[in-house]
A = this chain, B = another copy of it.
Amino acid sequence: MYKVVDIDDAKTMVKEKYSKFSLDSEVIKVEESLGRTLFEEVVSKENVPHFNRSTVDGYSVISSETASASASSEILFDLVETIEIDDGNIKTLNKGECIYVPTGGMLPNKADSVVMIENTETLGDSILIGSPVSKYENVLLLGQDTKIGEAILEANHQVRPQDIGLMKSLGINKVKVYKRVTVAIISTGDEIVDPATEVLPLGKIRDINSYTLSSLLERLGANVVFQTVLLDDEDLLRNTIKEVEADIVLVSGGSSVGFKDNTFKVFEELGEVFVHGVAIKPGKPTIFGSSDKILIGLPGHPTSCLVVANVFLPFIINNLMGIEGLNPYIKMPALENLIGADGRAKYEMVKVENIDGELYAKPIRGKSGMISLMTRADGYVIINRNQEGIIKNKKVKVYLFK
């Protein structure tokens, strides 16, 4: 028989056992890549800027010619031309000359700096300059921002709005990302009925987990391809898992004892089970296994299900994309005492309060099994097994829900 394991041990096993699974890549339009994970680094095909560019409105000069300029001894330059912002013709500057360049405009040949317009005076066709500029002052040199062949975004980076703007501006219109992981969600339990059920028969409850899970998975960038409620029937469960086409099958059970056995048994028949019970409270009845698919059994209790899903699903999905690392956490003081559970790690739901920019973890109190608990929680704190609890004002690690 299997015995209950620690979260970290479960994660180690999950990582090793699921290493045979991975996500393929696909090429998509850059403007549709928001939130997707890059399969490979993105390399610039161009220099940015692709000419020496002024970063201010002003007069391009040869910097050495301004070296002796001062307020009491201004230097006169001939204004020989005004460059338009979109001027594609390359001018050339001669000694004693300056050429007006707008912000973003192209510098003439030989010019190596720009004097800001507010630091100059106009005198007929000439410009008076009263302070020196250094070489390359107010200039972005060709390729100084980004060079051809330079990686502008790393592999495994999650695409943000500004990344899309950057890629598009570099003429990059397609990008290679990981395919979305496909997930099937099965809720089982004789007491569970479809949420569409109008009038609830006595003793029954509407399914809550499949919708919580599918929305969570949507946030994680997954593609939920199948969602159903099944009676607690071994054959039904086995056949459903066998036939569904998905990378991951999530089975969230009812709270009856029979449930756990069914899921475990079916998983074993279809492949192998390597974790049966994780030492977290709430959430103990958690199962990890695999066939040709990743098989995960989640507890039926809504809060437990949410916690376990938040602890393991981002970890597993990241692993499928070759991204190492555990769930990120933020340390913040607890607003109240937290009490541990005997011999098991306990996941205490907390609300994160932002009081003038300082974050605090406020435990959410309620009886086990209350579904309203989870709508008030922003994340959770882990109280380790054998840890009696956490004292108020002590810093705790808060793992935020996605």
Contact = CB atoms under 8 A, between A and B. Distances in A.
A215 B104 contact: no
A205 B166 contact: no
A51 interface: yes
Given A191-B86, A203-B86, A146 B212 contact: no
A29 B162 CA distance: 31
Given A369-B53, A372-B145, A165 B203 contact: no
Interface string A364-402: 001111111011010000000000000000000100011
B85 A370 contact: no
Interface string A268-300: 000000000000000000000000000000001
Given A88-B202, A198-B171, A165 B215 contact: yes
Nearest to A197: B171
B202 A90 contact: yes
A105 B57 CA distance: 76
A306 B162 contact: yes
Contacts of A300: 104
A5 interface: no
A317 to B, nearest CB: 15
A140 interface: yes
A319 interface: no
Interface residues of A, number: 97
B200 A371 contact: no
A90 B202 CA distance: 9
Contacts of A86: 190-191, 203-204
A34 B216 CA distance: 9
Copy count, this protein chain: 2
A401 B219 contact: no
Contact of A368 (B55, B87, B171, B196): B55
Contact of A165 (B146, B197, B208, B401): B208
A368 to B, nearest CB: 5
A314 interface: no
A41 to B, nearest CB: 13
A372 B168 contact: no
Given A88-B202, A165-B215, A191 B48 contact: no
A168 B202 contact: no
Contacts of A374: 162, 165-166
Given A85-B191, A215-B164, A218-B34, A51 B357 contact: no
A173 interface: yes
Contacts of A146: 371-372
B214 A31 contact: yes
A254 B213 CA distance: 45
Interface of A: 30-31, 34, 46, 48-51, 53, 55, 57, 84-88, 90, 102-106, 140, 144-146, 152-153, 160-166, 168-171, 173, 189-191, 195-198, 200-216, 218-219, 254-258, 300-302, 306, 328-331, 354, 356-359, 366-372, 374-375, 377, 397, 401-402
Given A103-B369, A165-B302, A168-B208, 17 more contacts: A51-B202, A87-B203, A104-B369, A140-B367, A145-B366, A145-B372, A162-B215, A164-B212, A165-B208, A165-B371, A166-B302, A166-B371, A166-B375, A169-B206, A169-B208, A330-B354, A357-B397
21 contacts: A50-B200, A53-B369, A55-B369, A88-B204, A103-B369, A106-B202, A140-B367, A144-B370, A145-B370, A145-B372, A161-B211, A161-B219, A162-B306, A165-B209, A166-B302, A166-B371, A168-B207, A168-B208, A169-B208, A169-B211, A170-B206
